[in-house]
Each structure stands twice: as structure tokens, then as C-alpha cells.
Amino acid sequence: MTTIRETLPEAHRRLFPAVYDRPNVEERRATCSDCAMCSRSEAPGTIAFQPNLKCCTYHPTLPNFLAGAVLADPDMAEGQRRMRARIASRIGITPQWVAPPRKHRVLLDAARTTSFGRSKVLLCPYFVEEGGGLCSIWRHREAVCSTFFCKHDAGAAGHAFWTAHKRFTAHVEVVLARHAARAVFPGAAEPDFPRMKLTLEDLEDRAPSEIDYAACWGEWAGREEDFYLRTFDVVRSVTRDEMDRLLAEEPRSEELARDVATKLDAITAPRLAERLVPNPNLVARPLPGGAMGVTTYSAYDPMSLTPELWAVLGEFKPEETLAETRARLDRDNDLVIADDLLLVLQNHAILVPPPA
């Protein structure tokens, strides 16, 4: 049994709370080696990714210690070459992060709906177009890359779990990156510039000015690789007690960790709501052959319903409890709907609890 902890980078996995010792959540429909999003479908409205891009049309924001882990890994020559090129560019390179160029964030934000998985302009600099598309820094990938799946076995409930996991993991990365940067260089600073805005240099794909870069890096400018390696050493020496103290200083730590456990419980021990109604935000498109394609929580995970199942959705009404609806369908239509099917419909947010 693989635990959730074992799916995280080695650098800091031991610092995560006990909920991370529970079994990993397998996403069997996200078949990455034969990408589930890359098959051509004739169904209208279906999104298809390019096989030479997949979902890696994203530029990770790597915390300093994971950049150090890449540089220290003896079996990661290609990832190191790419990491060194990123560092040498000085674009998005700060004491806490090896971050995307700001321009990339702006472009991704503006083009995500139309172009994610479909445009090379957004491709990750660590993506290798070999063997069906590989990550050159996989063992040390960050929170978003560790938790993204295009499809979830448990549908919207699975998505909610991975989102909670991503938020807590990203939170841990922020806490550790800041701690490690300060430990190596107390004068380290991050650029003070608003999100989703661009400097002249950003716009023209140039490095920040010497003055701006030196304001962040001080005496470490030009020795960034060494700096990242040292932050990796700092994080490797953080104890669980120390981590607990660092997290306790952050107001949202407990809430974010608790949310991981709550969302994990919802998919490992799911319970049917007392009342369910068709999701008012569901998008439906007729498919060839009479089935109905429905999209709820994600455009990447449409479901196909038989005409019979589609018709029965209208039987679920807010004035009846689920038990009453099932009893009526059994009595009047000789129709028995199994718990398993209702759980699938609930997990995929095809049926949802009515508004309170």
C-alpha cells in the first residue's frame, strides 16, 4: 500500500501530519502514460490535449529547497540542466522560489480555458518530449504538479480532496521556503510587485535590473545554485517539532490540514445526502446514440448517461427525501436505484443537495 506521504517529494514528506499516512488516492481514469485527455473524441464540446504537451502546459513555482533537491540529485542530469538554465536567466529567480516568469502567469490566466493542454506557448520548461512526455524533475515536483489529475474516480468529491491536499502542501512549501531562505541569508528579500502585473523587463522577456535583483539576493547574487542547495540542507534538518512550531505560527495551518482529512473521509467513507436534486449548473449535450454527455465540476471530466438514467434524474425533487423518492420509484415504476449508483451521481455532482 502506497501512502499519500510516499507520493510527496522526499525533501519534506516526513514533515507532513499523520493524515498523510493514509492510503494514497488512486486516480485510475487519469492514465498519464497514455494520456486520457489526448484521445480524439467526436463528441461535441469535448476538450482534447496535445500528446506532446498533456497537462504540463503549466510552469511550476518551485520552492528553493526543491530546486536544491533537483540540483543535489545524482540521477537528474536533464532536470539539472534545465534548472540551471532557468536560474541563469534570472527571470522568476528569487531566494524563496524558482518561479515562472510573470508573463507566463498572465498568459496562463488569460488562456487557460482555451489553450491549457493545447498550446506549446504554455509548456513547462522541465517537460521532456520523449517516451510519451516525461517530467525531468518528477521526484521533486511542487504542490500543483503533485496533486493535479484531469479526472477523478470520485468526481467532484475527489477534486475537493486533491484541492485541499494542494492547498496544504503549497502552504507547507511557503512556510519552509521562507524559513530556509532566512536561515541561509537573513537579508533575503522577495520582489515587491503586484500579482498579474508586468514590469517592462517582464514584458520583453528580460531579467530584472541589476539593482532589483541585488535587492533580493544581496551577497548571494551569482551564487544562486549554492543558495538553493543550502536551503535543501536546512529543510532536511528541520525536525517534526520544529515544523509544528513553524506551522503553529501560521493562522491557517490547522484549518488547511483538517480540510485534507475531511475531504479524504468524504471519498473513503462516502455518505448519501438526505435529499438530492439535479445539479442546476450541470451542462448537458446530446451524444450520438441517444446518450447524454454531462459536465459538472470540470470540463475535463464529462460523463455519459444513458437515456434512461438521464430521464430518471428529473424524479429527484427537493420536497422529497432520497428515501421517499426511492420508495416512490420502486412502488410506481418498479425501479430500484442502488446506493452505488446514487453515490456515483452524488460524487460527480450530477445530483447535489438542494440549497438550504
**Residues in contact with ligand SF4 by the rule CB under 6 A:** 30-32, 35-37, 49, 54-56, 58, 60, 124, 126-127, 135, 137, 141, 145, 149-150
Identity at 179, one-letter amino acid code = H
Q: Given the complex with ligand SF4, which of 54 and 86 has the nearer CB atom?
A: 54
Residue closest to 345 by CA, chosen among 281, 285, 276, 268: 276
**Using an 8 Å Cβ cutoff, are 96 and 178 in contact?**
yes
Nearest approach in angstroms of CB 215 to ligand SF4 is: 28
Residue 101 C-beta: closest distance to ligand SF4, Å: 14
User: In this structure, what are the phi and psi dihedrals at residue 151, rounded to the nearest 5 degrees?
Assistant: -135, 150
Cα angle for residues 128, 129, 131 (degrees, 5° grid)? 100
* Centroid of chain to Cα 163: 6
CB 280, min distance to ligand SF4, A: 28
Q: Which is nearer to ligand SF4, 58 or 185 (CB)?
A: 58
The alpha carbon torsion through 139, 140, 144, 150 (nearest 10 deg) reads -20
Rounded to whole angstroms, how far apart are CA atoms 247 and 238? 12
Q: Which is nearer to ligand SF4, 123 or 176 (CB)?
A: 123
Give the integer Cα–Cα distance in Å for 120 and 230: 34
Residue whose CB is less far from ligand SF4, 37 or 184: 37
- Rounded to a whole number of angstroms, the minimum distance from the CB of residue 300 to ligand SF4 is 7
Nearer to ligand SF4, 146 or 346 (CB): 146
Radius of gyration of the chain (CA): 23
Q: How far is the CB of 346 from ligand SF4 (least distance, A)?
A: 23
Task: Identify which of residues 45 and 222 has a Cβ nearer to ligand SF4 in the complex.
Answer: 45
CB of 57 to ligand SF4, least distance (A): 8
Q: What are phi and psi of 285, to 5 degrees?
A: -135, 130
